[in-house]
Amino acid sequence: MNLTLRPARPEDLDALWQLDRDCYPRGIAYTRRDLRDFLTHPEALSQVAWSGKEIVGFLIGLYHDGQGHIITADVRASARRQGIASALLRGVESEMGARGVTVVELETATNNAAGIAFWKRSGYQIVAVVPRYYLRRIDAYLMFKRLRPSVVPADLPR
């Protein structure tokens, strides 16, 4: 698959919202407004994966005071198991590291076996269970990863 990665742009919002709705059930998928708010947050980092003329995946993270949080990772069902999520994650983690982030956290449903396996392969460890996190009935794992310190380019805003 020929893949292009880049940060999300305002004109991507509708496609990202639709992809999120395709990836997650109602109530877990973000609203259009939530996604817009995440993407326009001053401490947001995002990566979008393009193949051909369509978005096949995206990942959004936030960072603040040395800590990062993965908000969502979405890959079109037909494009999974091709390294897209890993590429998106590497891009966002690299940007976080350049901004001084040393720890990244995320939540994933305890019944999401594929997601749990992906996060563990990516170096995340389960540190807690958050009861009824999704839809007030599905537990989530709280997962953390330590990032290696990286050199911050002089021209990169913090």
First-to-last alpha carbon distance for the chain, in angstroms, is 34
> Residue 18 sits in a domain of what CATH number?
3.40.630.30
Mean pLDDT of the chain: 92
**114 in a domain, yes or no?**
yes
Structure-token pair, residue 112: 């999401």
pLDDT tens digits, residue range 3-46? 899 999 999 999 999 999 999 988 899 999 999 999 999 999 99
105's enclosing H/E stretch is strand 103-109
**Strand, coil or helix: 138:** strand
In this prediction, residue 147 carries a pLDDT of: 93
**91 in a domain, yes or no?**
yes
Domains contained in the chain, number: 1
Containing structural domain, residue 48:
4-146
**87 in a domain, yes or no?**
yes
**156 in a domain, yes or no?**
no
**33 in a domain, yes or no?**
yes
- Please give the backbone phi and psi of residue 14, each rounded to the nearest 5 degrees, phi first: -65, -40
**154 in a domain, yes or no?**
no
**Greater pLDDT, 151 or 44:** 44
How many helices (DSSP H) and strands (DSSP E) are in the chain? 4, 7
Q: How many other C-beta atoms lie within 10 A of the C-beta of residue 83?
A: 14
